[in-house]
Structure 1
Amino acid sequence: MRSCGIAVIGLGLMGSSALYALTRRGADVLGFDPLAVGDARGSSHGSCRIYRRFNFESEAYTELSDRAFKGWQALEKASGRTILKPSRVLEAGPPGSRLVAASRAAAARKGAIGGPATGTDANAAFPAFNLPANWDVVVQGSGGILMAEAAIGAFREGAEGRIVAAAAKMRPTPGGIRITTPDQEVMAEQVIVAAGPWISAFIPGLGRYLTVTRQAVGWFAPAKPETVGYGEFPIFIIEGQGGVIYGFPDFEGRGVKAAQHDHGPIVGADKWSPPARDDELETVRATLARFVPGAAGPVVDRDICLYTNTVKADVRADDGNEFIIDRLPGDRRILVASPCSGHGAKFASAIGAMLSDMALDPEIDAPEAFRLDRFSGFADQR
């Protein structure tokens, strides 16, 4: 039977980042994933994600964002690939918007406030928009377009020879964690489970604290292409009556990518089809037509993304949609990595390094906010 010190199950952005970090540190590590880079069933598939330095979800994320930024820069240098394309990020909402206020407060703490502050200002700076004059606006100058598939490719290339392209199952035994694929068995001393929407199948009892939701994504042929090009038009996040809508400049020549961030219907981990329907994209279409008319137009391409979301914790204060990064309380040889809920991708370089640190040093624990014992089903096991 083959053996290794550390196994990584799931090689999306999080798992491939951890595999890469461990490889660079000389660890005896193997990664397992049946999906090739770009396979539409992977949670990290698709060309891009948003990088925000300042995050409305939590001001505590700023330090993690800064660590991730350094990680993306290092990956670019090591791989020769473009990983993070600089882009401004505009966030807008009605007067008193909590989303805008939270991002503005996080930026203010770093002395990074500047640029349009109202709908009137934003419309003048970026002609594609038609925001109400009295709306609140904040613009981050230090955001970017994270080239997700390029990043996964770079991580995997940096771990060449350590990837098993097969689905894996795991079974803890007294002598180690037995990893089984259709063709072989591997005994690992530790396992990092970063299996995205499939993670509940590996961690008993976790499923009750997670939901998987179907998120429709569309690419829209812009009505005014000259107003939405990369470098001129920002990434945008709009909190309107229809919910929170995000989108990208037309940096690929395939239209403006836009989607609804609010959670879609709950589905199973394998419910990637059918493609996004017109009715699922209607709120996005209507929001663009009302607030970003320069980007509005017919849908020219569509996709489905899955969010893996945590529910509200029942042991200590937690509103849900927070990451899980922790050692399994009942078996510390198993590290659980579910930094998802639709806003984790930007942090992957930092989280991979964090997982690497934890696997190599048993004294290191993840931040308290990410621990499993915030859920009653795991609190008693610690």
Structure 2
Amino acid sequence: MRRCEVAVIGLGLMGAAALDALLRAGVDAVGFDPLEPGSSRGSSHGSCRVFRRFNFENPHYTALSDEALYGWDRLAVESGRQLLIPCPILEAGPPGSETVRQSRQAALDHGRDTPLLSGAQVNARFPAFALPDDWDAVVQDGGAILLTQVALEALRARGRAEGRIRTVAVTGLEPGGDHVLVRTAEDSWRAERVILAAGPWMDRFLPALAPVLTVTRQSVGWFAPTRPKSTALGAFPIFIIERGRDDTVYGFPDFEGRGVKAAPHNHGPVVDADAWEPPASDAELAQVSRFLTELIPGAAGPITERDVCLYTNTRPSAEDAGEEFIIDRWPGSRLVVGSACSGHGAKFAPAIGERLARLATDPGFEIEPFFRLSRYPAFA
């Protein structure tokens, strides 16, 4: 039997950030994950995610982005690696777009008066685009391409250097009065607290969470640009464009030489957490192909690569419309839950990791109400 103060189960971006925060604070912590950085499984896999300072989803998230940015900058200095590539964020939609309105409002709330642009103005500034002239748009600064795999390696570096990472699956949790027994195929650990950050596999450990979580299969493609200069980093923004209900696509400039990465942000089919195969099909990427052809013709070449990721999102609660996060202590236990962070959570990892670490080590720390499990009647 081995012992630790805190065990972290799942070392994607959220769990790895929590482990790093614990170790920086001098806590005796150990992390468990069967997947290494670079694996094609897990919601943190792949080369890039979007970092946005101004967030249309929730008025609280811009402050969270600023806190996370401090964490990313600190980690970049510590690791000596670039984690964020600055890039403007284009958000656009038909006249009256809620995404554009809420994004502008988020900037205004934090002292930034971002001009409302027309589709015609966007097309003049970014020649790869062909938005309808009367569409609404904003171009936000403070955005960046988050280099996911590099960030994941940097977040795990302290744990690896100190021998605090176990590359093994956790097979069971057994709560005790003053501890939680963490079992693996290799050994068992007696932990005073456990942080669960298992992504789409959360309900394997806490079946009672299943009714409030949805796991969906999301198709991702890389598209050969028809006008390469117009889609290069510096000439082309990160984009989030809504054409209508359940018709939103996001994407990146061709900063890796692989093509323009683009994917639907609306949810794909509900799947099991192990449903990673087969790769995204032409049919799954047809929406994106049509979208690029009509609105971003400079990026509308053939598919060169394809991938699948899984979103884990919350269902609507008594206080929100869903697609939010759960960051809280599990009632009547020594467990801390960090869940439903797929879809738009990667950028917040350092800030969420700090919260998970404090929930596990500081009995007086209270999480913000919009993260709490008590939003759901079953946990009220």
TM-score band, normalised by shorter chain: over 0.9
Query: SS at the partner of 2:358?
Result: helix
- How many residue pairs end up in the alignment? 376
Identical aligned residues as a percent? 55
2:278 aligned with 1:268: no
Residue 324 of structure 2 aligns with an amino acid whose one-letter code is E
1:214 matched residue in structure 2: 217
Compute the displacement of 1:65 (Å): 0.4
Identify the match of residue 330 of structure 2 among 317, 328, 331. Answer: 328
1:288 matched residue in structure 2: 292
Identify the match of residue 240 of structure 2 among 233, 237, 251. Answer: 237
1:252 matched residue in structure 2: 256
CA distance in 2: counterparts of 1:204 and 1:286, whole angstroms: 39
CA distance in 1: counterparts of 2:54 and 2:149, whole angstroms: 23
Query: SS at the partner of 1:205?
Result: helix
Identify the match of residue 277 of structure 1 among 281, 301, 308. Answer: 281
Identify the match of residue 179 of structure 1 among 178, 182, 192. Answer: 182
Residue 11 of structure 2 aligns with an amino acid whose one-letter code is L
Report 1:131-150 matches (<5 A). 131-150=131-150
2:378 aligned with 1:377: yes
CA distance in 1: counterparts of 2:34 and 2:72, whole angstroms: 25
Compute the displacement of 1:110 (Å): 2.1
Compute the displacement of 1:179 (Å): 0.4
Compute the displacement of 1:339 (Å): 4.1
Compute the displacement of 1:198 (Å): 0.2
Compute the displacement of 1:108 (Å): 1.5
Runs of 4+ aligned residues of structure 1 deviating over 6 Å after TM superposition are none
Query: SS at the partner of 1:62?
Result: helix
Residue 321 of structure 1 aligns with an amino acid whose one-letter code is E
CA distance in 1: counterparts of 2:340 and 2:72, whole angstroms: 17
Compute the displacement of 1:375 (Å): 1.2
Query: SS at the partner of 1:158?
Result: helix
Identify the match of residue 193 of structure 1 among 192, 196, 208. Answer: 196
2:353 aligned with 1:352: yes
CA distance in 2: counterparts of 1:50 and 1:184, whole angstroms: 38
1:318 matched residue in structure 2: 320
- Maintained 8 Å contact 2:116/2:136: no
Compute the displacement of 1:173 (Å): 1.4
Residue 311 of structure 1 aligns with an amino acid whose one-letter code is R
| TM-score normalised per structure 2 | 0.97
- Maintained 8 Å contact 1:218/1:299: yes
Compute the displacement of 1:306 (Å): 0.1
- Maintained 8 Å contact 1:116/1:125: no
- Maintained 8 Å contact 2:53/2:142: yes
Compute the displacement of 1:112 (Å): 2.2
1:33 matched residue in structure 2: 33
Residue 199 of structure 1 aligns with an amino acid whose one-letter code is M
1:12 matched residue in structure 2: 12
CA distance in 2: counterparts of 1:143 and 1:371, whole angstroms: 28
Compute the displacement of 1:53 (Å): 0.6
CA distance in 2: counterparts of 1:137 and 1:323, whole angstroms: 27
Compute the displacement of 1:317 (Å): 2.0
Compute the displacement of 1:356 (Å): 1.4
Compute the displacement of 1:240 (Å): 0.9
CA distance in 2: counterparts of 1:366 and 1:175, whole angstroms: 22
Residue 236 of structure 1 aligns with an amino acid whose one-letter code is F
Residue 186 of structure 1 aligns with an amino acid whose one-letter code is W
| TM-score normalised per structure 1 | 0.97
- Maintained 8 Å contact 1:37/1:152: yes
CA distance in 2: counterparts of 1:116 and 1:56, whole angstroms: 15
Residue 75 of structure 1 aligns with an amino acid whose one-letter code is L
- Maintained 8 Å contact 2:247/2:266: yes
Compute the displacement of 1:360 (Å): 1.8
Residue 154 of structure 2 aligns with an amino acid whose one-letter code is A
Query: SS at the partner of 2:320?
Result: coil
Query: SS at the partner of 1:99?
Result: helix
CA distance in 1: counterparts of 2:207 and 2:177, whole angstroms: 18
CA distance in 2: counterparts of 1:204 and 1:330, whole angstroms: 15
- Maintained 8 Å contact 1:322/1:341: no
Deviations, residues 55-90 of structure 1 (Å, cap 9, x unaligned): 110121010000000100000000011111110000
Query: SS at the partner of 1:131?
Result: coil
Compute the displacement of 1:115 (Å): 5.7
Compute the displacement of 1:377 (Å): 1.7
Query: SS at the partner of 1:187?
Result: strand
- Maintained 8 Å contact 1:310/1:341: no
